[in-house]
């Protein structure tokens, strides 16, 4: 299964798809990136005259790349003929720096545990300067649809 196959199996589409490419994926983790469009809908009101990417959107980007893409890869044999069903079960994220419109971010995820179709990962998000923007633990369930 290629990176493009994994991205095509994601249950998201524009404007809520936050994965541009996967640079590395294995049973132990994934690295991928996304560039936030300068005219994304959520910048219009967050914040007045000083737009930054909302933390919930950064968390979603981390979950899509770091959890869902990895989960699809882990279950690639079972998911080859069906679309995955995904449920985020928990997230705990600490934020350190803002992400501005037009910025490219890189997500690095390491599998902590994968058991009974539940995946728990340690995920970090870096900006273009390779500075740590946020990090945390994200868990979810994934199964064939």
Catalytic center residues: 46
The Cβ-side half-sphere exposure at 115, using a 13 Å CA radius, reads 2
Q: Are residues 86 and 141 in contact, defined by beta-carbon separation less than 8 angstroms?
A: yes
Residues 36 and 21: their CA atoms lie apart, in Å, by 13
Residues 86 and 94: their CA atoms lie apart, in Å, by 23
**How many Cβ atoms sit within 10 Å of the Cβ of residue 88?**
14
Task: Give all strands of the β-sheet with 21-26 in edge-to-edge order.
Answer: 21-26, 29-35, 104-115, 118-126, 132-144, 84-95
**How many Cβ atoms sit within 10 Å of the Cβ of residue 91?**
17
Nearby residues of 114 by Cβ (< 8 Å), 6 or more positions away: 74, 120
């Amino acid at each position: 299964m290629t990176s493009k196959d994994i991205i095509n199996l994601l249950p998201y589409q524009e404007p809520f798809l936050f994965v541009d490419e996967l640079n590395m994926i294995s049973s132990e983790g994934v690295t991928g990136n996304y560039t936030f469009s300068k005219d994304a809908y959520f910048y219009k009101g967050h914040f007045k005259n000083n737009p930054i990417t909302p933390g919930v959107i950064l968390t979603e980007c981390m979950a899509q790349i770091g959890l869902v893409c990895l989960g699809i890869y882990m279950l690639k044999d079972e998911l080859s003929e069906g679309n995955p069903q995904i449920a985020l079960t928990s997230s705990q994220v600490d934020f350190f720096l803002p992400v501005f419109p037009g910025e490219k971010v890189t997500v690095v995820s390491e599998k902590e545990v994968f058991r009974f179709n539940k995946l728990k990962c340690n995920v970090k998000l870096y900006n273009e300067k390779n500075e740590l923007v946020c990090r945390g633990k994200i868990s979810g369930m994934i199964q064939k649809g």
